[in-house]
Amino acid sequence: MTSLQALNFASHAHAGAVSPDLIFAQPAVYEAAPLIQQMEAEIDQLSGQLAQTFEELNLIHNLACNLDSVGDRNTLCRDTLRKLAVCLPVETVAIVWLEQNSRVGSAVDVVQAGEPMDGALLRRIAEELGSEEAVVANYALRSAPEIDRAISVRLEGGLRSSSRMLAIGSPSGAELGTIEVQLMQSVASILQAHLAIDDQFAEMRSMFAGTVLSLVSAVDAKDPYTCGHSNRVSQLAEMLADDLGYDTHARETVRMAGLLHDIGKIGVPDAILGKPGRLTDEEFDQMKKHPVLGYGILHGIRQFEPILPGVRHHHESWDGRGYPDGLAGEEIPHMARILAVADAFDAMSSDRPYRTGMPLARVEKIFREGRGQQWDAEVVDCLLNDRERMEQFIQQRDSLGTQLPSFDLWSGHRIGSK
């Protein structure tokens, strides 16, 4: 008698009776044990499959949720491949760019995750497996006989017209098939959407850069005596913003505002802009309209909205005597206070039709006298505290090239000021 039977017998004996049916039923329980073990194994297998399916769905969900993010395309591809590698029974996953449009520039040809492989070898594998929608190779490849487990899926991403996503399995490992192909195709489809957005974003940035350069060139052509002034103001204003604790996005905004702060001069008569002598009161009233004219030119263009306060208010005065709105003190947007100092510094230290550039000592004296009256004292102190920078800025003014911001304004991120 087994221990289980003995236990049952003892319990019933204690009750004063032993059921023969109970004793003879025990063999049926043991006959069912293999079936129970099989069911448990199947449940474990199903649980594993569900966990794998969850990982795959989570991967696809995360990729889809990040469709609106724009960043370095190689980083995007590498991160995607790392996540994909976890879901596939392979050693290496890679993307091979077989053809590139010249507009893409010097991009990386191969991006991979998992066990590192030679880029040239991956390219040969991609070329051998051809341009079909999907190819499964559970045989030794001509280009790499040591590899007998591989999948190639077509990946098209905007400017890159021919690319492949590869999965390389262990030699003589488990055969790859439909399940792996379907997951790779799903990931490739979402990644293609990412890359198409990235390419469109790059083209929009290029168009935006061309627009800004055209506007700056138009101002320079309008007033040859101040040619390069906007660029110099933008660079000095960005330096001041950096010293004042602005983050990267805010500094980009200040730099863009500096480039376009005088765009309204397009609407000022040439005779006034180029007049060799002092302006009359009437002429000066015409000149004072340029901040409002610039605001009007850029107003309504969403990408320029963050810089509008700087364009409109860079001639306001700390004591409220500036223009166009007579703002005073803290009422003046901080970006405009920075531009006012940078604008005044370049104007005073540069040659103008009616005078030569002032010596640095004279410029410093004017700023000290106007500190807390015409200009924000904090910004003036930031400028005057670095005399070496002012000297270098004056010496290098003619060699300063136009430096455009990174145009994150196009990303939909609202760049703020301090």
pLDDT tens sequence across 273-328: 888 888 899 999 999 999 999 999 999 888 899 999 999 999 999 999 999 999 99
Triad 313, 319, 320: Cα angle to 5°: 50
Distances (CA, A) of 366 to 1, 344, 346, 357: 111, 10, 13, 14
Q: Give the pLDDT confidence score for residue 98 in this predicted structure.
A: 77
Q: Which two tokens stand for residue 260?
A: 């376009």
pLDDT of residue 121: 93
Give the integer Cα–Cα distance in Å for 338 and 242: 11
Size (the chain), residues:
418
Answer whether residue 353 shows pLDDT above 80. no
- Which whole number is the average pLDDT over 265-272? 90
Percent over 90 (pLDDT), the chain: 43
Residue 404 has pLDDT above 70, yes or no: no
Mean pLDDT of the region 378-396: 92
The region of weakest confidence among 38-42, 268-272, 349-353 is 38-42
Q: How distant, in Å, are the alpha carbons of 114, 360, 389 from that of 392? A: 50, 11, 5
DSSP label at residue 107: -
pLDDT score at 211: 83
Amino acid 23: pLDDT:
52
**What is the pLDDT confidence band of residue 83, given thresholds at 50, 70 and 90?**
confident
Q: Is the pLDDT of residue 153 over 90?
A: yes
State the Cα–Cα distance between residues 28 and 25, nearest whole angstrom. 6
User: Cβ(279)–Cβ(272) under 8 Å?
Assistant: yes
DSSP string, 79-105: HHHHHHHHHSS-SEEEEEEEE--GGG-
* Least-confidence region, from 28-32, 248-252, 265-269: 28-32
More confident residue, 293 or 215: 293
**Better pLDDT: 68 or 300:** 300
Q: What is the pLDDT confidence band of residue 250, given thresholds at 50, 70 and 90?
A: very high
Asked if residue 409 has pLDDT above 50, the reply is: no
Between 36 and 373, the more confident residue is 373
pLDDT of residue 78: 87
Of 73-87, 215-229, 299-313, 363-377, give the lowest mean pLDDT range.
Answer: 215-229
In this predicted structure, which of 27-36, 291-300, 343-352 has the lowest mean pLDDT?
A: 27-36
**What pLDDT score does 7 carry?**
42
Q: How confident is the model over 80-97, as a mean pLDDT?
A: 89
d(Cα 374, Cα 376) in Å, to the nearest integer?
A: 7
pLDDT band at 88; cut points 50, 70, 90: confident
Instruction: Please tell me the number of Cα atoms within 13 Å of 177 on its side-chain side.
Output: 4
Per mean pLDDT, which of 72-81, 124-133, 329-338 is the most reliable? 329-338
Averaged pLDDT for residues 29-52: 64
pLDDT at 27 over 70: no
Of these ranges, 207-216, 266-275, 397-406, the one predicted with the greatest mean pLDDT is 266-275
Mean pLDDT of 204-217: 82
Whether residue 158 has pLDDT greater than 60: no
pLDDT, mean of residues 106-134: 85
What is the rounded radius of gyration, in angstroms, for the C-alpha atoms of the chain? Answer: 36
Q: Which domains, and CATH codes, for the chain?
A: 66-201 (3.30.450.40), 223-411 (1.10.3210.10)
> What is the average pLDDT score of the chain?
80
Q: Which neighbouring-strand residues pair with 111?
A: 95
Q: Which of 46-55, 184-193, 309-318 has the highest mean pLDDT?
A: 309-318
CA distances from 262 to 25, 47, 215, 236, 259 (A): 99, 67, 10, 15, 8
Token pair of 358, please? Answer: 């002032």
